[in-house]
Structure 1
């Protein structure tokens, strides 16, 4: 018996079914359990290296009305030249189902060590941004966000 290769229609139907199942979950459904701790996610990012405060600026609103779309920007003090640049920026949280929100890879060609996006927050929590520099050092900044309407409650 040969395996059938899924066609576009079946893939789209499966994806639509998954989206529908998540959208129709009961209102009081419990959030998914965390996949790992924030500390272990940070250690997976930085290994055993020391993480020092400084050089990183993390901007997000301190009071968030809706956790489904929270603006976030991270910038790192760096000349962004081949000898001194940011390699990666990782953003981590305390209470979402997955502690690693995003990892961005940069290089001297980026020109600036600055990223901006929108994230989802499951609840009021601390967000931490960590930058890996080309010399192997790690720098960080943290900020707290109070969320009045939580997101990330799939399940």
Structure 2
């Protein structure tokens, strides 16, 4: 129980981050680890996380809370009653001058056309899901530019991958 309290404190400390909008990739990874620890406790270890991040990107700055909604979706939609456990890979790389974050799960997956629609605006107000992904995507695009943001790939029965492309910035003052 003590570990859960520590994870909860870490999650809130980083997510609140003294009102700052930007944190380091290292802090974002600490925050998502704390979030998954909490979910592990809640779901009785049905979530198996794998973390892989290039040390070269860890001190770069980014918007806070960009991984949490994606991991939450992976757990909420990827883990079904039939699926005993879900593995979630959270990866960070430096590719061609940009940061690429990846959240891939081996959950139930979704049809490709549904994955494509998750990031699109729906004008008729009928959409009942995808708000977290769209919110993260819009925040990234507004802050860094239209060339950055999310993409989603999935197929039924083989999990889902969400890719986040960010600019490499190592100083909050550059933004």
TM range, smaller chain? under 0.3
TM-score scaled by length of structure 1? 0.27
From the CA coordinates, give the structure whose radius of gyration is larger.
Answer: 1
Higher normalized contact order (CA 8 Å, seq sep 6+, divided by chain length): 1
Task: Choose between structure 1 and 2: higher helix proportion.
Answer: 2
- Please state which structure has a larger fraction of its residues in strand: 1
